Chains A and B, each alone.
Chain A
């Protein structure tokens, strides 16, 4: 399938990983997203904020083509996914990783098989699969859990296995659905540090849906230091090139899009109340 038709020439695919153009979707006659437009630049992490039911998770499912919009266009890595069939989408999805809200690990498979799922579907040699599974689990510091089943893991560990499964093919885009939801503050920080590591080490574009404002500000205000293997405050150093932006959804509409600094300056009463 050609990347773009003649009339799509204006779409910038070099710098933009995801583009939403006037996207609307309803479930059983109640609108969930109403004319949402935004862009995710390559290498950027966009934090999508909003109260429960504002359509945050729906955006992620739309990015993967798991749902089809009623109106509008969605471009993912240059492909207009609103015109693609399910078969065509399977290939594109190999370049996009997702971490689900409740991890969505296959409960009848071990951690190894969960993380290796995509590679096994591609029939890669067993030695190669084992090597990459260990690499991926080592990234999330969970190598010791390789033979365990999801039911034997804590919530935070399951979330980390979900990240390992999402990054094993080194996707160009990562989607995180409330990655710290329901976790204690220490485990949440570990998860945010992993997302930061993926952002700063591999420069992966990412959409992170959350209702926890502090996660977004931590991402925007810190960088991952490979030497100490921990995050450090950026203290506004421009040379670190931390590209984290924010988008706030309210009743299916994007009411704010900008940087952490701009979010702090905004005068809209709803947003001020939301971030207070």
Chain B
């Protein structure tokens, strides 16, 4: 493994942040500049959104089930089993729905974007696109960012809903709770601020997933080995960034409320 001096490491890191910021800003600006690649965005929305649906549904379902199972044990000790719906709903909508959905989509799509664009980079297809007069940022990056942000919003709503259904299955069939009571408590606990928090987070996380995946793809070097490295790095960085930004956003929304 190549050894680099601390100065070079800092220099490379700062350059990487600069390049990532540039790519992110460019992807945003390109949303308002012609040409618009609507067909590419719809294709990506299908790949990212519809393609991620099974994994998101499964994650949501099992998270809801596990939440209900774990919280019911504690709540039972205090004779408050009827609060299961409240706990599942609050946790899913505010926190676990957005974060777990994003981590799943990051694992599936950040890696996909990094490997696809990385392969194009090392086989000079990105250069060929530029040489043919097409801006690869507009053609490849912006449609992926738009599609991911758009689809993350709906995937999170589906995940929240399926999680609540998972909690209801446990509450109704195993804990013997009344369905109406479960859904009423699940609905009543949610405040305007919780819903907003749960719907803003996936938009930001979607942006992180797409931009990190595209950044590592577009900066891939070193042949097929480089593609593998970019793919791994994209998933790791996207996941860590999601968790970090989640903490920041949670604190921000608490402060605002």
Contact = CB atoms under 8 A, between A and B. Distances in A.
Interface of A: 61, 64, 66, 86-87, 90-91, 93-94, 96, 98, 100-102, 104-107, 117-118, 121, 165
A90 B134 contact: yes
B184 interface: no
Interface stretch (B80-88, B120-128, B173-181): B120-128
Contacts of B54: none
Interface of B: 35, 119-120, 123-125, 127-135
A90 B125 contact: no
B12 to A, nearest CB: 11
Nearest to B132: A118
A121 B133 contact: yes
A90 B133 contact: yes
B128 A100 contact: yes
A101 B124 contact: yes
Most-contacted residue by chain A among B125, B130, B133 (CB, 10 A):
B133
Nearest to A122: B133
Contacts, number: 52
Nearest to B137: A86
Contact of B130 (A91, A93, A101): A93
A66 B127 contact: yes
Contacts of B132: 93, 117-118, 121, 165
13 contacts: A64-B130, A90-B130, A90-B133, A93-B131, A100-B127, A102-B123, A102-B124, A104-B125, A104-B127, A105-B125, A107-B119, A117-B132, A118-B132
B123 A86 contact: no
B131 A98 contact: yes
A61 B131 CA distance: 9
Most-contacted residue by chain A among B124, B130, B132 (CB, 10 A):
B132
A81 to B, nearest CB: 13
- Give me the 7 closest cross-chain CB pairs, A-B, nearest first: A104-B128, A104-B124, A93-B133, A90-B133, A94-B133, A98-B131, A118-B132
B124 A91 contact: no
Contact of A86 (B35, B127, B128, B135): B135
A117 B135 CA distance: 13
Contacts of B135: 86-87, 90
Contact of B133 (A91, A102, A106): A91
Nearest to B119: A107
Contacts of A61: 127
Nearest to A101: B124
B148 to A, nearest CB: 19
A93 B127 CA distance: 12
Given A91-B133, A93-B133, 19 more contacts: A61-B127, A66-B131, A87-B135, A94-B133, A98-B128, A100-B127, A100-B131, A101-B124, A102-B123, A104-B123, A104-B124, A104-B127, A105-B128, A106-B125, A106-B128, A106-B129, A118-B133, A121-B133, A165-B132
